[in-house]
Amino acid sequence: MKLNGIISEKHQIMDDRMVLTVGKIYRCSSSSFDFGGSEYQEAKLEEIKPEKRESEDKYGWWNLDQGYYIAEFNEGVEIPEGKAAVLQPWSDRFPASATHPTRILRRNSNKIRIILMVSEAGIKIKENSRFSELVEL
């Protein structure tokens, strides 16, 4: 398995896992789908821009209230044929006031997105922060 778009190999590539960083966060509208797929309507995404605390800051912060969001990682992944990987919340940051469901990835992806669930406490996430991990199966 290979990770593309890495920010810091030293901090993201470990012996037993790879850590992904948050690149974008979106609000999403409702969507719809049916059994046959003819009435499928993809959710529209509205990007939430991170806000810098000081003008000289290199990175900004997302200040998220309770709710559901879509998070997109900076990294893409190459998974060998016949292999899979588990995408899960980064164990070094658990528990926090935000999480996402575990996913099984079975193919290459340049754009990995997850449903981000934020608790009533809300959360502040810094741009490019480490958030999730990939473990090869």
Q: Tokens representing 132?
A: 């999730």
Q: Band of the pLDDT at 62, cuts 50, 70, 90?
A: very high
Average pLDDT, the chain: 93
Q: What is the DSSP letter of 65?
A: P
Cβ burial of 73 (10 Å; 0-12, 13-18, 19+) is buried
Q: Tokens representing 1?
A: 């398995």
Amino acid letter, residue 37? G
Q: Write out pLDDT tens, residues 25-59.
A: 999 988 888 888 888 888 899 999 999 999 999 99
Q: What is the pLDDT of residue 95?
A: 66
Worst-scoring range by mean pLDDT, 25-39, 74-88, 101-115?
25-39
Collect all residues with Cβ–Cβ distance below 8 Å to 102 and sequence separation of at least 6.
Answer: 86, 87, 88, 89
Give dist(CA 100, CA 125) in Å, integer. 14
Q: What is the pLDDT of residue 32?
A: 84
* Structural domains present in the chain: 2-136 (2.70.40.10)
Terminal Cα-to-Cα distance of the chain (whole angstroms): 10
Give dist(CA 127, CA 60) in Å, integer. 6
Question: Residue 37, by phi and psi: left (phi above 0), alpha (psi -120 to 50) or beta?
Answer: left
Please tell me the pTM assigned to this model.
0.91
